[in-house]
Amino acid sequence: MKALTNASTKLVQRYLPDPFLFVVILTMAVFLLGLMITSSGPLDMVVYWGEGFWDLLEFAMQMVLILVTGYVLASSPFFKKQLQKLASLANSPGQAIVIVTLAALVASWINWGFGLVIGALFAKELAKKVTSVDYRLLIASAYSGFVVWHGGLAGSIPLTVATEGHFSEDIIGIIPTGETIFAPFNIAIVIALFIAVPLLNRAMMNQKEAVTVDPELLEEDPGPEEKPRAEKTPAEKMESSVFLSWLTGGLGLIFIVYYLSTNGFDLNLNIVNFLFLMLGILCHGTPKNFLASVAGAVKNAGGIIIQFPFYAGIMGMMVTSGLAVQFSEWFISISTEVTYPLFAFLSAGIVNFFVPSGGGQWAVQAPIMLAAGEELGVDAAKTAMAVAWGDAWTNMIQPFWALPALAIAGLNARDIMGFCLWVLVLSGVIIGLGLILL
């Protein structure tokens, strides 16, 4: 395993481009595929790209907010103290790798944004405690927990099909989460990943090739020190007011209770963002501390802000030209009732490279995959979860979603993707077998 890992990390270091260049290359690849496979001409593809460029602005803002609010909450004194306590449990590099993987898996299953952020922050705390651990593998292990997100509580596809009025309701009706997220086959896949991924990450550890980091470099910049003043101005008093934070956060929590009591456990992106925001305000104590944390969080969202429009443009070309439909139909053409969930999973994994949005991808694939599944006699809930798992699976080698964790860690995609490649292989086998056999 160590030899394979060394080979993959060297390969990735040599050939994987920067995430922004990666999306540019994907843009060119989709453009050429559209010309070769569909009836679209060069101008058609340019128009599809330009018209789709801003189609995901609302979703992009939701993504930025979930990363910012997740970072703010995870970096609050209360949560940082809990992370430090957890980090004290690790006394060796192997223990650090296993613990951070489990923590990231749990956090990502609860909510993907929280998982990305909490995993990276926890990894930094562990690196301060266990100085001999390979920092690249530690961050890769934190990111590997992201593989379970679409099988968890914040999975956008299972939550979409469980929501009244969703766009596929006339085809499949309402599918409760008991048949998707909490279905026995999905729980079994999640449990298997919780066991296998930490063990794989531990097996990839090679102390002879370990890249370590000075713990002092991981300390956060406290910012400029304030000079003591005899008397604070009214504005400064408000900025340091615990009362204002508690009043705002308290009102927010009241709304959360009201929302859950009237809508049930409907954790859509907006309500998750709202919950994280209010808890972040409460946990930081004062508006000043909260805003300082927000300033640090926004730096980590830069990659998503600039790249999401390009992915929206790619999605515009994929959808309008018919490329996404042709990919899906090809997999459907070679499927049977038994193999269909596997091929739905694989097709979703491929489409995910070009449409890195669970909801956006479902909008593209749902009409085709659901109709084919119904014709083959495959349960709609199984089809939905096969697409959901495919969307999550190839994130292991799609550097886009690693950007927040990499920004927090101070690394680049080439540092971790060699390790994540093997997580992709193992998780693909587990998910594929689970979808076919269970």
Q: Is 420 exposed, middle or buried (0-12, 13-18, 19+ CB in 10 A)?
A: buried
Q: Which helix (H) or strand (E) holds 38?
A: none
For residue range 146-201, list pLDDT tens digits in order.
999 999 988 889 988 887 888 888 889 999 989 999 999 999 999 999 999 999 99
C-alpha to C-alpha distances, 200 to 196, 206, 364, nearest whole angstrom: 6, 12, 33
DSSP states of 257-278: HHHHHHH-S---HHHHHHHHHH
For residue range 334-389, list pLDDT tens digits in order.
889 899 999 999 999 988 888 767 777 787 788 888 988 988 999 999 999 999 99
Asked which of 3-17, 43-57, 339-353 is least confident by mean pLDDT, the reply is 3-17
What is the pTM for the complete model shown? 0.85
Q: Name every residue whose Cβ is closer than 8 Å to that of residue 137 and which is 6 or more positions away in sequence.
A: 97, 201, 204, 205, 210, 416, 419
Helix, strand, or coil (residue 402): helix
- Confirm if 16 and 280 have CB atoms less than 8 A apart: no
CA distance 330 to 345: 13
User: Higher pLDDT residue, 44 or 219?
Assistant: 44
Helix, strand, or coil (residue 29): helix
CA distance 161 to 72: 30
Mean pLDDT for all residues in the chain: 88
Q: Residue 67's closest CA among 3, 130, 116?
A: 116
Q: Which helix (H) or strand (E) holds 382?
A: helix 380-393
- Structure tokens of 160? 């979409």
- Structure tokens of 113? 């944004």
